[in-house]
Amino acid sequence: MAPTDVNALLSKLTLEEKACYDFWETVPIPDKGIPALKTSDGPNGARGATFSGGITAACFPAACSVASTFDVDIAHRIGVGLGEETLTKGARCLLGPTMCTHRHPLGGRNFESFSEDPFLAGKLASQNVQGVQSTGVSATIKHFAANEQETQRLYVDEIVSERALREIYLKPFEFAVKEANPGAVMTAYNKVNGYHADEHPFLLKQVLRGEWGWDGLIMSDWGGTNSTAESLNAGLDLEMPGPTRWRKADQVLEAVKAGKLSEETITTRALHILKFLERQNCFNDPTIPEEKAVNKPEHQALIREAGAKGMVLLKNDAGLLPLTKEKARGKKIAVLGLAKEALAHGGGSASVNTHYKITPWDGLHEAFKGADVEFTYAKGAHTFRQMPLISDHVVGADGSAGFTWRTYDIGSSVPATVTNGHPNSEVSLLNGMDVFNKSSELEGTFTSPESATYYFTLTGLGPSKVTINGETLYEQKDNSSDPMGFLLGGVAAPIVKLNLEAGKQYKIFITSAPPAPQHGEDLGILEGKTGVRFDHMSAAEHDKDILTEAVELAKAADYAIVFTGHETFWETEGQDQQSFNLPKDGSQDRLIAGVAGANPNTIVVNSTGVAVAMPWLDQIKSLVQAWFPGQEAGNSIADILTGAQNPEGHLTATFPKRLEDCPAYGNFPGEYTGRQLTVKYVEGVFVGYRHFDRLAADKVNFPFGFGLSYTTFEYSGLSVKETAADQWTVSVNVSNTGSVKGAVAVQVYVGSKKTSPENPIKVLASFKKVTLEPGSSATVDLPVQGRDISFWSEEKQQWVVEGGEYNFSVGKNAADLVAATVVNVAGQTYAP
């Protein structure tokens, strides 16, 4: 079909029509022939248009898991799967991948991103984007740029040197833009060096549009637009979501009249949107299909394979693993901790209503079917962050089960809406985003099922209060201390005790108002919204000792497998980690230590997207880092534990022993001046292994790139051949010297022999996954580009490779370089 003349369409639009959109879709203008385009979250699945629940979707492994494969083919195949899933949700634009840097282990959204290393992150993100876009769906790389923390993410000002920006934080985006040409880029919420990312002239105009020559669509994060003229002038094409807050016709006209904004700029922004619609074939096919749940067997198989291949075997004393059918036959295995939870994904935009989720408990039962294995189970550790809502033993004002939910216009005592049968003691922001500038009231009569002491907590986005039988139980007089945390993970609240009598009725009223306006504070998509949660639990259940049972089961078993990690409410968008230790309050650490003391064959499987403290590491035999492997989590884990899949994952981030040794320690999440949070990236380019290379080896539990196998590999015959003035091929012979088939990521690190305090000792410059049968060998060729070993000179405003001798090393990981050779490298400079 002939291409659409977008310039002709553009000429028909009024100024107002050049800036309009909806929550998940661009707004159509039918009489001008302009269709809508639908977007969908998120980076590891296509959720569709519903925040919570809704049509089911495939859940792929998180980016941290994909990166641990060190496998560009898997990254591409997952991208294809994500694109296919996006189409089933009627969308043509996927809001992913997320590709910011793992700056600090407490980063709440690290799991959504690939790595601490910009080269690895960029190469895998590029393949992910290419895979998505091969299906006709546009990828949206995000969040541009420097979105490395969630604490005060709407306001935090990140002070970053240009060199660190260029080498660490922009580099993954540069790879994706230049190699994959994503259709869209999403700006970050935060400020960078004083400018919000959506109105940042250096990031958007100079670098993205200018130096990189990219001409796609720039959209804001949801609620991440902070100005009218400034964001339009900087290059932000699309304010998301609608209805607009910053681009109403009167605001735009006022900016034009004041000389802050030209009509030419507005026209350019609208042209980018029209070109995007054309790119996504919206003019030829303007339909937005109905959302469907399409559970493809090929996606199931890919997720299981990729999830397993991303898992990292960190410890395996005395060859305890694999725990094969033959080894386990007739034995008793204590399966403990989070074994009946499928930690498939993190919280926030990465959450999807999965087609299904396989728990480790289910995966192990399937794997050992017919092996005469006896499984026992105990959770052994309290990990809840919030207590349960009241959903049973309660009736509303009309006598039906549930609560009566009323909304009120601000200042009115007459209900605007009344809903009976509301299922629980929560007004959820995720399901009530259309409730705007209204207060809420929940009424219910609760009949206590027992005589007991109960614990209660109340949390609200805005000022909230709960009364029981006319007496105030608790009142939150101020706005939530952490609005984004309230939305996505929950925030801490005082526990209030109350003795209840069995069979007695208790009249509950829960009231909540939208957040009171605060000077200089913009809540983005949460502005004017109402959300409140009232939790409860019996004191006996809350304080119950569940560790002893787990230890006793471990003592009676031949093997003990402890499943630990972060459930979605502990590792989530909207909040950084509360602690370097596993939640909550040391309960999982105590579980592992107790079990290891009772059973010498203790295996730990940890599902987090970040490094965690491991005070029990010396007490256990085996350790697997499982990340968030997607909906096949339990099967992927069972494949690794039983040897059906030989572990081949490598860490994408350094696992330090102590938080205090991390490069950003003391500068995360920053310091407040009044209400403004500022964080200084004083570590510069020394992020991850670049930092730990300068410290003693005993500061690290496991280095970047580390990963064990059930077989062994040897390296020999390293050579480096210069193929052009600034290009080399590194060749090395890799042999599988063990007894089983396995795969390993060959890693090439390059650094100047002349060390200096300003430059890293080495950087990852190439990698390649190779699979070998037992006893076989292969020569692996890895390309190295001069641009990838250069540094940014702020003085010269160029990329620079200083001439001299360089160490070209092949490593099992960043701390174990098994072969090296010296190469004379000519000086080079590269334009930005």
pLDDT digits (tens, 9 = 90+) for 611-667: 999 999 999 999 999 999 999 999 999 999 999 999 999 999 999 999 999 999 999
| CA nearest neighbour of 448 among 402, 507, 494, 496 | 507
Residues 111/70, Cβ–Cβ less than 8 Å: no
In the chain, which segments carry CATH 2.60.40.10? 713-830
395 pLDDT tier (thresholds 50, 70, 90)? very high
- Alpha carbon separation from 465 to 395, 440, 475, 506, 512 (Å, rounded): 20, 11, 4, 16, 7
Take residue 191 and report the two structure tokens written for it: 């400020």
In the chain, which segments carry CATH 3.40.50.1700? 299-385+544-650
Side by side, the strands of the sheet bearing 532-538 are 426-427, 532-538, 452-460, 496-500
Residues 636/321, Cβ–Cβ less than 8 Å: no
| CA nearest neighbour of 148 among 182, 113, 120, 117 | 113
Instruction: Identify the pLDDT of residue 245.
Output: 86
Q: Residue 191 and residue 197: Cα distance in Å, rounded?
A: 6
Q: Residue 372 and residue 430: Cα distance in Å, rounded?
A: 45
Domain 394-540 has CATH 1.20.20.10: no
Active site residues: 221
Query: 156-168: per-residue pLDDT in tens?
Result: 999 999 999 999 9
Residues 305/297, Cβ–Cβ less than 8 Å: no
Q: Which residues contact 78 (CB under 8 A, 6 or more apart)?
A: 60, 61, 66, 128, 131, 302, 306
> Can you say how many angstroms the Cα of residue 315 is from the centroid of all Cα atoms in its chain?
26
Instruction: Identify the pLDDT of residue 434.
Output: 64
Of 123-127, 279-283, 406-410, 434-438, minimum mean pLDDT range: 434-438
The pairing of beta strand 798-801 with beta strand 804-813 = unpaired
Take residue 237 and report the two structure tokens written for it: 């094409």
Provide the 3-class DSSP secondary structure of residue 484.
helix
Q: What is the mean pLDDT of the chain?
A: 95
For the chain, how big is the Rg over CA atoms in Å? 27
Query: 537-581: per-residue pLDDT in tens?
Result: 999 999 999 999 999 999 999 999 999 999 999 999 999 999 999
In this prediction the pTM is 0.96
Instruction: Identify the pLDDT of residue 16.
Output: 66
Which CATH homologous superfamily contains domain 713-830? Immunoglobulins (2.60.40.10)
299-385+544-650 CATH choice from 3.30.70.270, 3.40.50.1980, 1.10.520.10, 3.40.50.1700: 3.40.50.1700
Tokens 């490779």, located at residue:
801
Query: 27-60: per-residue pLDDT in tens?
Result: 788 888 889 999 999 899 999 988 778 899 999 9
Residues 605/586, Cβ–Cβ less than 8 Å: no
Peptide bond into 528 cis (omega under 30): no
The H or E element containing residue 403 is strand 403-409
276 pLDDT tier (thresholds 50, 70, 90)? very high
Q: Residue 492 and residue 404: Cα distance in Å, rounded?
A: 26
Using CB atoms within 10 A of its CB, is residue 830 exposed (0-12), middle (13-18) or buried (19+)? middle
- Higher per-residue pLDDT: 23 or 808: 808
Residue type (1 letter), 128: N
Q: Residue 199 and residue 218: Cα distance in Å, rounded?
A: 11
Instruction: Identify the pLDDT of residue 525.
Output: 80
In the chain, which segments carry CATH 2.60.120.260? 394-540
- Higher per-residue pLDDT: 696 or 6: 696
The pairing of beta strand 93-94 with beta strand 39-40 = parallel
Residues 140/181, Cβ–Cβ less than 8 Å: no
Residue type (1 letter), 402: G
Residue type (1 letter), 37: L
Instruction: Tell me: pLDDT of 135 over 70.
Output: yes
pLDDT > 90 fraction of the chain, expressed in percent and rounded = 87
Query: 757-793: per-residue pLDDT in tens?
Result: 999 999 999 999 999 999 999 999 999 999 999 999 9
